[in-house]
Amino acid sequence: MTSFITVTVYALAALILALIAGVFLSFSDFIMRSLCAATPTSGIEAMQQINRKVYSSVFLVWLLGMAPVATLLSLYAFVFVEGPAKAWWIAGGALYVIGTFLVTVLGNVPMNKRLDPITPD
């Protein structure tokens, strides 16, 4: 039988991961299209401001904090969870760490760092 604490931790993790996914969805769906539609100077300056503001946001705490949480929950599922939920939690943790965290850290952050020193005009 699954304990109340385990269910609560998994539910909270799922909620936070869904919020992170929502931020990325909105960013890739309409924020990037809006930045591309703006004049190059305005788009560059807006993106630079977004990049600077994210460092002091709860989003960054969640993005970075959920990588070890997703890893630990996947390990917990590997050891203690039975049935289809085991595979789903392991796959979900791997997808988050690889597809969200590593893509952001190794791909998007370096692009943002190259954009930062550019003078918009």
Domain boundaries, the chain: 4-115
Nearest Cα residue to 28 out of 45, 49, 12, 50 = 50
Q: What is the pTM of this model?
A: 0.85
Q: What percentage of the chain has pLDDT greater than the value 70?
A: 98
Please, which pLDDT band fits residue 45 given cuts at 50, 70 and 90? very high
pLDDT value of position 72: 95
Residue 73: burial class (beta carbons within 10 Å; 0-12, 13-18, 19+): buried
Rounded to an integer, what is the distance from CA 49 to the centroid of its chain?
Answer: 19
